[in-house]
């Protein structure tokens, strides 16, 4: 098994209650071997004043996925915190949903690096992100 802390989709989604994750409508949709996926609506909670998906909302989706995946790769008594997030926006999204796909780039004892790719409903990449986390504990 890949994940050190295997969670079901129901458990992952329940962990988001009363957080920014739930407020933005982010829902985990897939846990696979070495991959975590979630969707986020492009609606009044996530757009900027010009009607396009806000880059900050994309960053929240990426950090949500990378942080949860990072946590799922820790042992009992450990946790992760984000150290750096970068995002390159490739194309605008004005409606529907975006899907984030998170995969590990590096899983060290003290640091992790995660790649999070965001896609629109047509499967076109809208944003490429990288999250670095520190493992604490």
**Burial of 65 by CB count in 10 Å (0-12 exposed, 13-18 middle, 19+ buried)?**
buried
* DSSP codes, 47-66: B-TTSSB-HHHHHHHHHHHH
Catalytic residue, candidates 33, 37, 39, 63: 63
Eight-class DSSP state of 74: S
C-alpha span between 133 and 108 (Å, rounded): 10
121 is catalytic: no
96: Cβ contacts below 8 Å, ≥ 6 apart: 41, 42, 120, 121
How far apart, in whole angstroms, are the C-alpha atoms of residue 120 and residue 91? 9
Please identify every residue annotated as catalytic.
63
């Amino acid at each position: 098994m890949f994940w050190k802390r295997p969670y079901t989709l129901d458990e992952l989604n329940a962990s988001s209650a009363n957080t920014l994750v739930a407020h933005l409508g982010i829902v985990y949709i897939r846990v696979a071997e070495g991959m975590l996926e979630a969707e986020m609506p492009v609606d009044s909670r996530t757009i900027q004043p010009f009607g396009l998906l806000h880059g900050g909302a994309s960053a929240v989706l990426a950090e949500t996925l990378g942080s949860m995946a990072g946590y799922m790769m820790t042992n009992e008594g450990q946790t992760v915190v984000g150290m750096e997030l970068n995002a390159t926006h490739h194309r605008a999204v004005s409606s529907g949903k975006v899907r984030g796909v998170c995969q590990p780039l590096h899983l060290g004892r003290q640091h992790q690096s995660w790649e999070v790719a965001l896609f629109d409903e047509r499967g076109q990449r809208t944003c490429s992100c990288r999250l670095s986390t520190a493992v604490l504990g």
